[in-house]
Amino acid sequence: MTKPLNIREIALEILMEITEEQAYSHVVMRQVLEKYQYLEKRDRAFITRCVEGTLEHMIQMDYIIEQFSNVPVYNMKPLIRNLLRMSVYQMKYMDSVPDSAVCNEAVRLAQRRGFYNLKGFVNGVLRSTARRLGQVCYPDPKMEPLHYLSVKYSFPIWMLDKWVAQFGYETTEKICRDTHMEKQTVVRCNLSKASREEIIRELEEQGIRTEPHPYLDYALKISGYNYIKAISAFKKGWIQVQDISSMLVAEVAAPNWGDTCFDVCAAPGGKSLHVAEKLMGSGCVEARDVSEYKVKLMQENIDRIGAINIQAVLKDATVRDEASVQKADIVLADVPCSGLGVIGKKQDIKYKMSEKQQQDIIRLQRRILSAVQEYVKPGGVLIYSTCTIGADENQYNIKWFLDNFPFHLESIDPYICDELKGRTTGGGYIQLLPGLHQSDGFFIARLRREEESRAAFEEG
Amino acid sequence: MALRQIRIMGDEKLEKTCRPVTEMTPRTKELIRDMLDTMYDANGVGLAAPQVGILKRIVVIDVGEGPIVLVNPVILETSGEQTGQEGCLSLPGQAGIVTRPNYVKVKACDENMQEFELEGEELLARAICHECDHLDGIMYVRYVEGELFDTSDEDYDEDETEE
């Protein structure tokens, strides 16, 4: 007989891959759920909840475990540490599972995975947790404010430290809290295919609830569906899943009829398609990416939608492309980033990022900017964007860019709704913060290349 | 360690009734060792002799609590029921839902032909039933409720959702 599937063991294996092997949670989850499609819906839901919840609250789980274990979490065997994390998560957040079942299953699992000698340890820690979970003493918000936030919302201290310095304590808490809120799906209506009213009618006929998004009239928040690809409006290419922040990039880029646009880090291609749509078939958009696989996917998507003024191109944004120099009216530089603005959707980001890694990312961002700024025609526009929050990858990069290249910031107020206008938008950039704005954390800056450089170029 | 080839469903050895073991010979002991090796190698929790082509009433089981060898097993008592997924090394990549007793009491000889009794619940009970069936030429597919389903690994492409 073959070894039977144990849903807790599957959950544990996923956690191991994400926390110990550096795999990305959303990629692993999707692969595993596809692999175990035949499992009952209830079992699939358990796996998803158990893994995502444990990741979401991992620092808090470790804090609780250390109240009842004399071995610190970082000294435990990786399998044991993840087994304890997901067991404590079930005790604290999944009321449907009795504590005794959590303990028994964990002990059995430890044994099955060859840790006979640690059965007693697992049992001891979990029985104590079950008994005294309600009496755990958490850090005091007044005495240790950062530690309090860290344990309550499971964020690393170094990240909180930076945010509190930049945004203040209250805003930081709002950002953290928002990452634990359920996210609504936002879609962009493809107005070249159908009107907003037609699309809403089509969605509501399938029982999907729609709600207008306050920032853009062609954006809709949708809920009450099971599987996006089964929605008829999606199949027809009428709607595209895209966060509002990403839609704002094409708005701020504001292409003119016939413009040439290079989207240098384009995958999965939503922004490029959006710009192409705004060009109404004129001009051309090059959706570039460094991954062959992603370029292929983008081209398939373009073909599905049937856009004629856009193509996917394999090109590495860090390498200067002579043929592109001064060819673009608009360059979109949506650079790779630490992703701290989308933690609500990808919980593991907050543990994987470190200050050192962030420094590497900033170097990469500057390499890309150095190469692609040359593609902008004199008087053309470069839109810099990231899905992260914090000055290091945003404002400081812009400052560095302005110090080194002949560009200036330009107001984005003409392109955004009143609700988003603020202290910085007139100056040329916006930092969207989850919890404060109805969007992911995101940064957009509009930079115009000086006309003078053309004069200098022509004289030379 | 010697691995034996696992017979796949359709092989006639899997449809025969096996003969009792009358005496323990060095060859039979070697068979038992090989069956354990083969089972562990295939990541299984149980294996019956006909699955490696030998028509003797021998099964080996390990549900994670150490190896169990049952020679000439006879199920004495069952009770309760459990419904869950079951798969077989002789039908790789497939599984189905099977209802089995939740408790089983079995009488058998060990590898030295000493008689003993064993009680099992849940997974162990399921494994005892599944393996003893093999000795009478019965595959679990006979009891599957609904359809068999595919459990084989496949490669998945990476793709991204829009941020």
Tens place of pLDDT per residue across chain A (460 aa): 988 778 899 999 999 999 998 888 888 988 888 877 777 778 888 999 999 999 999 999 999 999 999 999 999 999 999 999 999 999 999 988 899 989 998 998 898 788 889 999 999 999 999 999 999 999 999 999 999 999 999 999 999 999 999 999 999 999 999 999 988 899 999 988 899 999 999 999 999 999 999 999 999 999 988 788 889 998 888 998 999 999 999 999 999 999 999 999 999 999 999 999 999 999 999 999 999 999 999 998 898 888 899 999 999 999 999 999 999 999 999 999 999 999 999 999 999 999 999 999 999 999 999 999 999 999 999 999 999 999 999 999 999 999 999 999 999 999 999 999 999 999 999 999 999 999 999 999 999 999 865 555 555 4
Q: What is the pLDDT of residue A219?
A: 96
CA-CA distance, A109 to A116, in Å (whole number)? 10
Both tokens assigned to A359: 């420094």
Q: What is the pLDDT of residue A10?
A: 92
What B19-24 contacts at long range (C-beta under 8 Å, 24+ apart), as own/partner pairs, is B19/B55, B19/B56, B19/B57, B20/B56, B20/B57, B20/B72, B21/B56, B21/B57, B21/B58, B21/B71, B21/B72, B21/B109, B21/B113, B23/B113, B24/B71, B24/B111, B24/B112, B24/B113
Which residue, chain included where needed, has tokens 């003119």? Answer: A256
Q: What is the pLDDT of residue A229?
A: 82
Q: List pLDDT tens digits, range B51-78.
A: 999 999 999 999 877 899 999 999 999 9
Return residues 97-126 of B near A (CB < 8 Å): 123, 126
Contacts of A270 in chain B (CB under 8 A): 162
Residues of A with active-site annotation: 387
Average pLDDT of span B123-147? 95
- The answer to whether A271 and A246 are in contact (CB under 8 A) is yes
Domains in chain A: ranges and CATH: 7-135 (1.10.940.10), 145-178 (no CATH), 185-241 (3.30.70.1170), 244-459 (3.40.50.150)
Whether residues B130 and A5 touch (CB distance < 8 A) is answered with: no
Task: Tell me how many degrees the CA angle A383-A385-A387 measures, rounded to the nearest 5.
Answer: 165
Contacts of A336 in chain B (CB under 8 A): none
Distance between A445 CA and the closest CA of chain B, angstroms: 17
Pairing state between β A185-189 and A209-213 = unpaired
Distance between A166 CA and the closest CA of chain B, angstroms: 24
pTM: 0.80
Contacts of A59 (CB under 8 A, 6+ apart): A150, A151, A154, A155, A156, A351
CATH 3.90.45.10 fits B12-150, yes or no: yes
Q: List pLDDT tens digits, range B12-54.
A: 999 999 999 999 999 999 999 999 999 999 989 999 999 999 9
Contacts of B12 (CB under 8 A, 6+ apart): none
Q: What is the pLDDT of residue A452?
A: 67
CA-CA distance, B135 to A453, in Å (whole number)? 87
**Active-site residue (options: B12, B23, B86, B131):** B131
Q: What is the pLDDT of residue A453?
A: 52
Whether residues A30 and B131 touch (CB distance < 8 A) is answered with: no
Q: If you measure CA to CA, which chain A residue comes closest to B85?
A: A4
Q: If you measure CA to CA, which chain A residue comes closest to B126?
A: A1
DSSP B62: -
Contacts of B150 in chain A (CB under 8 A): 38
Contacts of B125 in chain A (CB under 8 A): none
ipTM: 0.81
Both tokens assigned to A363: 């170097």
Q: What is the pLDDT of residue B60?
A: 97
Distance between A35 CA and the closest CA of chain B, angstroms: 7
Catalytic-residue membership of B86: no
Q: What is the pLDDT of residue A118?
A: 93
φ, ψ dihedrals at B5, nearest 5°? -80, 130
Name the strand (E) or helix (H) holding B124: helix B122-135
Using the Cα atoms of residue A153, residue A156, residue A158 and residue A163 in order, give the sign of their dihedral.
negative
Whether residues A297 and B159 touch (CB distance < 8 A) is answered with: yes
Q: If you measure CA to CA, which chain A residue comes closest to B124?
A: A1
Return residues 3-32 of B near A (CB < 8 Å): none
Quickly count: other Cβ atoms within 10 Å of residue A12's Cβ.
Answer: 24
Using the Cα atoms of residue A104, residue A105, residue A110 and residue A114 in order, give the sign of their dihedral.
positive
Quickly count: other Cβ atoms within 10 Å of residue B15's Cβ.
Answer: 13
Whether B149 has its CB under 8 Å from any CB of chain A: the answer is: yes
DSSP-based three-state secondary structure for B134: helix
Distance between B26 CA and the closest CA of chain A, angstroms: 26
Q: What is the 3-state secondary structure (H, E, C) of chain A?
A: CECCCCHHHHHHHHHHHHHHCCCCHHHHHHHHHHHCCCCCHHHHHHHHHHHHHHHHCHHHHHHHHHHHCCCCHHHCCHHHHHHHHHHHHHHHHCCCCCHHHHHHHHHHHHHHCCCHHHHHHHHHHHHHHHHHHHHCCCCCCCCCHHHHHHHHHCCCHHHHHHHHHHHCHHHHHHHHHHCCCCCCEEEEECCCCCCHHHHHHHHHHCCCEEEEECCEEEEEEEECCCCHHHCHHHHCCCEEECCHHHHHHHHHHCCCCCCEEEECCCCCCHHHHHHHHHCCCCCEEEEEECCHHHHHHHHHHHHHHCCCCEEEEECCCCCCCHHHCCCEEEEEEECCCCCHHHCCCCCCHHHHCCHHHHHHHHHHHHHHHHHHHHHEEEEEEEEEEECCCCCCCCHHHHHHHHHHCCEEECCCHHHCCHHHCCCCCCCCEEEECECCECCCCEEEEEEEECCHHHHHHHHC
Whether residues A2 and B130 touch (CB distance < 8 A) is answered with: no
Torsion on CA atoms A271, A272, A275, A276, rounded to nearest 10: -150
Size of interface A-B (CB pairs under 8 A): 75
Whether residues B156 and A241 touch (CB distance < 8 A) is answered with: no
Optimal mutation site among A1, A7, A275, interface B, most CBs of chain B within 10 A: A1
